[in-house]
Chain A
Amino acid sequence: MIDPVTLAVIQAALQQICDEMDLTFSRAAFSPVIAEANDRSDGIYSATDGSLIAQGSKGLPVFVGVMQFSTRTILERIAAGLTAAPEPGDIYIVNDPYLGGTHLMDVRFAMPVWRDGRIYCWLSNTGHWPDTGGAVPGGFSASAISSEQEGLRIPPVKLFKKGELDQEIYQIICSNIRVSEQRIGDVKAQASALLVGAERLGLVLDRYGDATVTEAIAEMRKLAARQMRAMIGLIPDGTYLSWAIVDSDGVVNEPLTIALAVTKGAGDLTFDFAGSSTPCMGPMNSVRATTLSAVYLAMRHIFPDVPISAGAFEPLAVTGIEGTFLDAQYPRPVSGCAAEVSQRIAEAVFAALVQAVPDRVTAAPAGTSGNFGLGGHDPERGRDYVMYQISGGGYGGFAEGDGISNGCSTIGISKAPPVEIMEQTYPVLYRRYALHEGSGGAGQHRGGFGLDYEIELLRGEARASFVMDHGRVGPQGALGGQDGAVNRVEVIRDGVTLVPEHLSKAQDIALKPGDRVRVRTPGGGGYGPPAARDPALVAEDVRLGRYSPADAARLWPDH
């Protein structure tokens, strides 16, 4: 059996390889979504079943576990003769959501690592491309009703053959996406990350021997499973019920429900989503890989010590998603799965487990990516533009303190772009960029505050679109805490204020210069009963203007 020291050293080495792939990908990428927002992830996968061996610690959380599904699909398709068998130097590309993916914009590369003429393992990465074609720039069409409207769907094919970019396939892709001229930079960055990983992995294999590393990988998987079981052991036996609501699918103005029952069994945890809404018409469907990943990432938020690997997922069973909007099939539109539905799934997991392990879990965070897209023509520069303002919100209160204000989405780790950079780049003026006062849910430990911004269009005509959530109900309070404030969107045209029919989702609202958009993002849920809050903290928040005296009196009536 492998000795514990070599095991720990190999684990650290594999982890570093993934972190180095993440770093290389981000720093070389052109797309700001990858370079700045780190909307990418890199990992190492089993050659036999595609299962996850190690994944970069700085990858976008929503990709936890996703690529093992797409890698497995590639292996199955190669075995079935549906995809050409690999040769050294080949890199596959795939973005099909229904073959173990997220939405079309998340493009995966996968490359075998060869040892002595055989495949030792696979390296794969995902990067969010700024555009993959479809009805609207960027791919987030709030009103799409089929996959084709969302963009180009690529099955697993070889983009690089024996180390050379296949110009024919690449040109087909470029002819179907917007701003294609800079994509070559991202493609090379994405491939370069895999090549760096393969080179570093080769050194590790040379040093410790293939057989030893193989043994270490098997042992790592066992230990990760054992560690996750130890964490599950902290959860008292029982079933914990929760729910979460998606405002609407963007097409039909009806709420979608996620119903969750988490059951602690002997050493495992079952997440049963039976009773959740059926697949929807609009793009708020999720695919299986994304749904599982959302459960995994929520668990990792709760137990951050457990390494990301297939072993950690073993004790986690997800059931009851068949026939619901959490396991949508082609051609259901799915652009909202990674950014919004995944966060509602995580919220449901938090809401269930905060009852079970209250010292480890927070009340619900804002949990929306707050995507406000503005597309139009800037006459001063003589060019078209597409602007995205992605926003954070308040996090939930927790056992030791108040929630963080303006944190990024549950599934993200990106930084917000500075107002000054946005104004340099787009014909807009921010009138306000402020704390969403009064938005933190009341509780013993209150929720964090959302963001309150107002943007004025300066020049040219433009169209505004919104893909947000939590417009109907705020992020849930926990253990007697109250919900955080809801997300609010207002469009002010000719001085008249318009609230979108779907509250948090709308597409192509026409704007002209002087028109404004105001968005107030959700506050986090409160934790524990408001009456238990230290009155001095309530007074301090009022003194700092975070709550008006009237709001404070209403939210903390006992103080």
Chain B
Amino acid sequence: MKKYLFTIAAAVAVLSSCGKDFLTEEPNLAQSDVLTLSTFDGLDKATAGAYAPMASTNWYGANLILSFEMGTGNARRWIEFDTHDSGRYIEDYAINFTPNGTSPIWGQAYYVILAANQVIAHLDDAGIDASQQEKSNLKAECLFLRALAHFDLVRVFAHPYNYTADASHLGVPYVTVPDANAKPARDDVATVYSNIITDLLEAEAIIDPSYVRSGVKDKKATVTLEAIQALLARAYLYCNKNAEAITYATKVIESGKFQMWDAEDLADAYTVDVPTGGEVIFEIYNNTSSSYGTGLENVWGMTYYEQYSDCGVSNDLLELYEDGDARADLISTDKEGNGLFTMKYAGKGLGAVDANNVIVLRLSEMYLIRAEALVKTGGNAVADLQVIADHRNATAQPANIEGVFLERRKELCWEGHYWFDLARTGHDMDREDVSGTAIKHLAAGDYRWARPIPQREFTVNPNLIQNPEYNKN
């Protein structure tokens, strides 16, 4: 009997060891983490994929642009006309957000952050067969995506940099390591900006200056040296580092890689599928065949007057333009002559469900960043403002803080800037041409300048603190 038991025990031991391979069934139609992240090709594709969710309607594909434009005087819901009232973006127009009904960017941005962090965490693993520069280029892309995601998170879910004197108020968790068990607390706003800038500076330092991801359709929708520098210019401006903002805006302007659109080219510039030349430094490429951002609720479907078009333009905005300003032509009524709508996302003419690219960074913003930083530091911004005016058939604004601010609104309206510009510069939000019961005024410093963090996060992460006022219930 003893011998018998021993034999069985030995059999079990042998079979268990051969069982390890037998008991492994790898999924073939989805790649395991291990497989994806163990080769350079896998890491390269994981980087290419990390861009994709930015096109989601939860982020650049609609929400980050529209939800915030709708809270300003740039927008109006034309509820007088049934065809422009599908019941969407009502709360955004009313600036009425609760922890259970808030911006969807939270989950989407952290998803991209995970995708980027996974690549960064494995780039230096042994066995990744690629040159240092090839690895650095991927890392630079991922650092940029991580920085941009956190930048959007902090400007959406936290009060602006100047909210406290030392920016010590609550920002967002800055996540740099993939960890399924992490329950991070919110970093303060100063830390978040400091980390954004650190990531971008590293990316700038390591990227091949001529690097463009190979195989892409739209070269402007991939991270380049200038995209990194342009985002740095904006990040510096947002945290009042004006000298650095000037430096980086200048680097981009003087790179010579971008040209101001002429007034007569403006209308077409927003509806091309793949831009060549022109102002775009970095954009989100949209196409019906993409994994994200398709469907009728994308930025095209929500603004184009033939579609849902809940997100219309107000007379407040239209009235800002002088006669002949080419930018006024980017605002149109529908075919019946009703309402006002932006033509910045009027489709590419590619199919039944169309999808416009969403510009994140472009050249005129660089001039406006430099102009603003110059004005703030006592410099002369006349030339920069003149560049804008010359290319828009418009009169240059006076080179003071309000002049730059007005020019920014006229130039960058419906590209997702105005709400954040109001917030960071401490302006009240005022609007006249409103429909329904939407509020006309939101004072600077109001709690609503920061969106509430989704309620579900508090039930699973005890370390998070909600933004002020949203906890009242």
Question: Is B truly associated with A?
Answer: no
Give me the interface of A with B, judged by CB distance under 8 Å. none
Give me the interface of B with A, judged by CB distance under 8 Å. none
